[in-house]
Structures are given as C-alpha cells and as structure tokens.
C-alpha cells in the first residue's frame, strides 16, 4: 500500500471515530422524543414474530427490526437504541466517502466525510432512534450500487438493487422514489453519442431493461409479503397499518403546494445547517456545472491568456457526476415536499448525504485548480470558509447538543418537538414515573393516554396500559367501568 493510501485511510478512520464519538457521547442527555417511544416499544417485540409486521409498520418497519437487534428493555432501551443508530451512521458516512471517491475524487470524499461528521443536521438525528438516518444510509447504498450497475448491468446487480430498494422503502416510505435511482444512473452514465438516438435508445433498453426488470421483480416479491396480507385484512377488525395516514396532507390548513412547504421548512433547516451552508450548497451545484462548462468549452480560449499553457490539465468534475448527486437529492426530497403534512426537519434529514457530497465535490474542485497566481488564495479560501462555518456554527451546536440540548436555538416545530411540550419526556414525565415507582403496594392497574404512555416507558418498570389514541371522556369512563372490578382502584396518567 502506498504512503498516500495509508494517509487517506488513516484520515477516514479518524473521521469515523470522531463521528462515532459525537454520536455516542452523553447519549441520553436529550430527552426522549415521543416517536422514539413508539419505535422502541415496537422494536421490543419485532423479533418475536407474534404478529405480522404489517400490523405495526407505520411506514418504517425495517427500523423496528434494526433496533430490535439490540435486545431492548425499558431500563436500557434508550441508550441501546440510540447507540444502534450511531453504529449505522458509520455505514452511512463510509458510503458517502465511497460515493465521493467514485463520482469525483478522494478529496471530495474526504471533505464530504468530514462535513458529515460535524454537520448538526446529521448529528442531531443520529443521536436519536429515528427512521430518517436509516433511510439516508440505505439510499446512499442504493446510490453506490447504482453506479456499479450503470457500468456493469448484470443480473446480480439487479438483485442487489432490488433488495436495497426494498430495504430503503421499508425503512421509510418517504424513500418511495428510490426505484428511479438505478434508472437515472443508467441514463446518466450510458455513453450517448451524437447520431442516431433511436438506435442508441434501443441498445440502452436491451442492456439495462433485463436487470432493471429483475430488480423490480425482487421489490415486488419482497413487498408482496406486506401488501398481500394487508389487502386480505383490509376489512378485518385489525387492518394493517402500512402507511401512517396522519402524516399525509389531507386538511385545508396543511401546506397546499411543495413551494409553500419549502417556504415553511427552510427556517427550520437553517437552524441545523445555517444559511451559509445552504447557500454554499446551491452555489456548489451552479459552480460545478460552470466548472464543467469551463473545462469543456472555454479552457482553450482562456487558459493560454492566463499563462496556463504549460500547466497540467486539471481534473474537473463531469456533468454526469454533478447531475447524479443532484438526482440523489431530488429523489430524497420530492416525495416529502409533495405529500408530507407535517413541516418537520426529520423529513429533510436524509438530504444531509447529497448536500455534503456536493459541497465536498466543490471544495475538492477548487482545491485542485492550478492557476499559479491564485492557487494559494483559493486553497486558503476553502480552508477559511470551512473553518469559519465549523467554528461559528457547528461547534456551538455540537457543544449544546452534547451537554444541554434545551439551549439549542430552536424555533417552530424544532422547538415544540424536541424542547418543550407533550412530545418529549421532560421533568413532568419523570416526576410522574417516579410517583408510580414509589407506590406501595405497587399499583395493579395503571392507565396513561396514548402520548404519555410511550414516554413513561423509559422511566418506569410498572405495567402501564396505553389508552387508545383518540379516547373521549365518555369512552374513557365506559372503558374503566368495564375493565375495573367494583371498588378496585387504579392510577390514571394524562397529558396534552
């Protein structure tokens, strides 16, 4: 192994270790979020196979099986589940580095990996037991294998892609556009030539359609184990829950258009990325396309005037690689922007992968420009810009997230979901759990409403029965009359 390869490998390992430390340090300092309670309670029973997973899928069934690998019990469920997501984050970041290396160069992969390790958007959610980081990692794997498929369209690659696409959509249904990724890769990387487009399209079809069809069949067969039983049980008293209907747009107050959704979302995005980061990402896309145009059309005209005639030809990123990264970003975001009811940051989280990849490509491209009179200035600018963002935005966020998340400057749904209100297990929830734990003799019957029940799970070993999600006062009275014997006492915990 060459010395340069050893150095690159050492940097990659160091960045992965840094990332894992940031994801696992003070792992329980963030109050449990309601959805974590849902996910962990379902994961506790996922591997028992007592019922079909479609009955508790809610559009993210693969997450429950991943978390269930860590043998979750109430006393250690939260740190174990969050550590499980931190472990998976290493797969995500390693794949992002690989994509950067294959699409652009090793420098792009390293910059993308470094940015991802400290990006607050990735850090915050990978310290929680949420489905979005899992979906990002699987989409990155699809991107990697789609590249291989575009260059080697075999039946084996078709099967691999079919399995990965199934896993990504089972991890989170917002990945529903991922089947288009290998198709886009095949279109982007096919060696199109000037001439007879019809004959080229025919060759493309003959080359790629058979393995793509095989991938589609794999997805259909694997999803069939969910869809067919769900269809058969559609009129039963326990229908399957493949999609969480609450998260889809249906009411007049929901965002009307993707543009309106984006307008409401962007202030939340800035709180976990910064305006400068998002502006740089947009500028990077434009700049990479401009660099390609310069390399293709203007190099011969301009470079001799700049004293560049004897310099080595620079390696500019191709149009195809830039388009590929942009396609990844769009496939992640289009479905939530069009269908999501909740304006929430977690739907945007998977975009962290393509964003750092695009920025890594732009940084590496600027770094290797060899115009003698601005070379050092450009490299210094890259270092200063990245360093300023890390120092002024990323590090303060990391400090607060790892020590006191309540101090994070969140507003809107970022604040109501993760810092206050009935969606987190705050001091009031812990006090209620402490009261239940101290009852002597232990309470025989404890009831809690739907929201509170899944948060009490983290702090009490008592058997708490969850009430239905929408239970009126009259329904609650009737239920308690039927469930309790005359004169029998019970504890009732309510919130909201």
For residue range 208-247, list pLDDT tens digits in order: 999 999 999 999 999 999 999 888 888 887 787 777 766 6
In a shared domain, residues 114 and 208: yes
Is 182 a residue whose pLDDT tops 70? yes
Q: Do the domain assignments include residue 418?
A: no
- The mean-pLDDT minimum among 132-136, 345-349, 387-391, 419-423 falls in 419-423
In a shared domain, residues 486 and 390: no
In a shared domain, residues 108 and 210: yes
Residue given tokens 């992968």 in the structure block? 353
Is 127 a residue whose pLDDT tops 60? yes
In a shared domain, residues 68 and 189: yes
Q: Do the domain assignments include residue 419?
A: no
In a shared domain, residues 115 and 260: yes
Is 251 a residue whose pLDDT tops 70? no
Q: What is the pLDDT of residue 253?
A: 62
Residue 33 three-state SS: strand
Q: What is the pLDDT of residue 249?
A: 63
Query: Where does a domain end: 342, 372, 406?
Result: 406
296 vs 20, residue with greater confidence? 20
Backbone angles phi, psi at 464, to 5 degrees: -100, 125
Query: Where does a domain end: 350, 375, 406?
Result: 406
In a shared domain, residues 32 and 139: yes
Q: Do the domain assignments include residue 234?
A: yes
**By CB neighbour count within 10 A (0-12 exposed, 13-18 middle, 19+ buried), where does 184 fall?**
buried
Q: Do the domain assignments include residue 415?
A: no
Is 317 a residue whose pLDDT tops 80? no
Q: Are 23 and 398 in contact (CB under 8 A)?
A: no
In a shared domain, residues 339 and 441: no
- 132, containing H or E segment: helix 131-151
Rounded average pLDDT over 256-275: 91
User: How would you write 232-275 as a 3-class SS string?
Assistant: HCCCCCCCCCCCCHHHECCCCCCCCCHHHHHHHHHHHHHHHHCH
- The mean-pLDDT minimum among 274-278, 324-328, 457-461 falls in 457-461
In a shared domain, residues 328 and 468: no
Q: Do the domain assignments include residue 323?
A: yes
> What pTM value is reported for the model?
0.91
Quick one: pLDDT band at residue 315, thresholds 50, 70, 90? very low
31-51 pLDDT, tens digit per residue, is 999 999 989 988 888 888 888
| Count of H-run helices and E-run strands, the chain | 21, 3
Look up residue 64 and give its two tokens. 């429950």
In a shared domain, residues 433 and 313: no
Q: Do the domain assignments include residue 248?
A: yes
In a shared domain, residues 401 and 455: no
For residues 420-452, b (16+ Cβ closer than 10 Å) or e, as one string? eebbbbbeebbebbeebeeeeeebebbbbbbbb
Pairing relationship of beta strands 446-448 and 491-493 according to DSSP bridges: parallel
Q: What is the pLDDT of residue 45?
A: 84
- Computed over every residue of the chain, the mean pLDDT equals 88
469 vs 289, residue with greater confidence? 289
In a shared domain, residues 93 and 142: yes
Q: Do the domain assignments include residue 77?
A: yes
CA pair distance 17, 90, nearest whole angstrom = 9
Query: Where does a domain end: 342, 377, 406?
Result: 406
Q: Indicate the number of domains in the chain.
A: 2
Quick one: pLDDT band at residue 308, thresholds 50, 70, 90? very low
Rounded average pLDDT over 372-401: 92
- The mean-pLDDT minimum among 8-17, 297-306, 428-437, 467-476 falls in 297-306
Residues of the domain holding 447: 427-493
152 vs 250, residue with greater confidence? 152
Rounded average pLDDT over 293-317: 50
Rounded average pLDDT over 401-417: 93
340-381 pLDDT, tens digit per residue, is 888 899 999 999 999 999 999 999 988 887 777 788 888 889
- Which residues lie below 8 Å from residue 148, measured CB to CB, with a gap of 6+? 157
CA pair distance 95, 101, nearest whole angstrom = 10
Q: What is the pLDDT of residue 487?
A: 75
In a shared domain, residues 443 and 399: no
Q: Do the domain assignments include residue 413?
A: no
């Amino acid at each position: 192994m060459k010395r340069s390869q050893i150095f690159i490998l050492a940097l990659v390992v160091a960045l992965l270790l840094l990332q894992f430390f940031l994801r696992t340090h003070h792992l329980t300092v963030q109050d449990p979020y309601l959805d974590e309670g849902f996910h962990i309670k379902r994961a506790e029973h996922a591997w028992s196979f007592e019922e079909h997973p479609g009955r508790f899928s809610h559009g993210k069934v693969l997450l429950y099986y991943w978390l269930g690998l860590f043998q979750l019990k109430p006393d250690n469920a939260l740190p174990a589940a969050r550590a499980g997501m931190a472990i998976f984050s290493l797969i995500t970041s390693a794949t992002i580095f690989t994509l950067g290396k294959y699409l652009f160069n090793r420098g792009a992969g390293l910059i993308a990996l470094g940015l991802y390790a400290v990006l607050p958007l990735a850090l915050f959610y990978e310290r929680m037991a949420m489905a979005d980081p899992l979906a990002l990692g699987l989409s990155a794997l699809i991107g990697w294998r789609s590249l291989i498929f575009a260059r080697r369209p075999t039946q084996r690659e078709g099967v691999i892609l079919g399995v990965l696409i199934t896993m990504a959509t089972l991890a989170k249904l917002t990945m529903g556009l991922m089947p288009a990724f290998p198709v886009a890769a095949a279109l982007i990387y096919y060696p199109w030539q000037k001439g007879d487009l019809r004959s080229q399209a025919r060759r493309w079809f003959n080359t790629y359609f058979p393995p793509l069809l095989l991938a589609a069949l794999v997805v259909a067969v694997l999803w069939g184990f969910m869809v067919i039983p769900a269809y058969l049980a559609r009129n039963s008293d326990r229908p399957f829950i493949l999609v969480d209907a609450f998260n889809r747009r249906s009411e007049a107050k929901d965002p009307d258009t993707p543009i309106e959704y984006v307008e409401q979302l962007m202030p939340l995005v800035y709180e976990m990325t910064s305006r400068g980061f998002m502006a740089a990402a947009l500028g990077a896309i434009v700049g990479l396309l401009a660099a390609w145009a310069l390399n293709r059309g203007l190099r011969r005209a301009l470079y001799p005037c700049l004293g560049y005639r004897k310099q080595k030809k620079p390696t500019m990123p191709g149009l195809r690689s830039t388009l590929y990264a942009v396609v990844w970003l769009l496939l992640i975001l289009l479905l939530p922007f069009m269908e999501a009811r909740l304006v929430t940051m977690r739907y945007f989280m998977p975009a962290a992968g393509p964003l750092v990849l695009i920025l890594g490509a732009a940084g590496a491209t600027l770094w290797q420009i060899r115009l003698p009179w601005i070379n050092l200035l450009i490299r210094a600018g890259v270092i200063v810009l990245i360093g300023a963002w890390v120092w002024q935005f990323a590090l303060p966020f990391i400090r607060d997230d790892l020590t006191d998340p309540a101090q994070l400057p969140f507003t809107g749904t970022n604040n109501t979901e993760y810092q206050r209100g009935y969606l987190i297990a705050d001091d009031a929830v812990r006090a209620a759990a402490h009261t239940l734990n101290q009852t002597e003799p232990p309470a025989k019957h404890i009831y809690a409403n739907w929201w509170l029940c899944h948060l009490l799970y983290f702090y009490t070993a008592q058997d708490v029965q969850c009430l239905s999600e929408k239970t009126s006062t009259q329904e609650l009275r009737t239920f308690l009359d039927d469930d309790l014997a005359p004169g029998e006492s019970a504890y009732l915990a309510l919130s909201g």
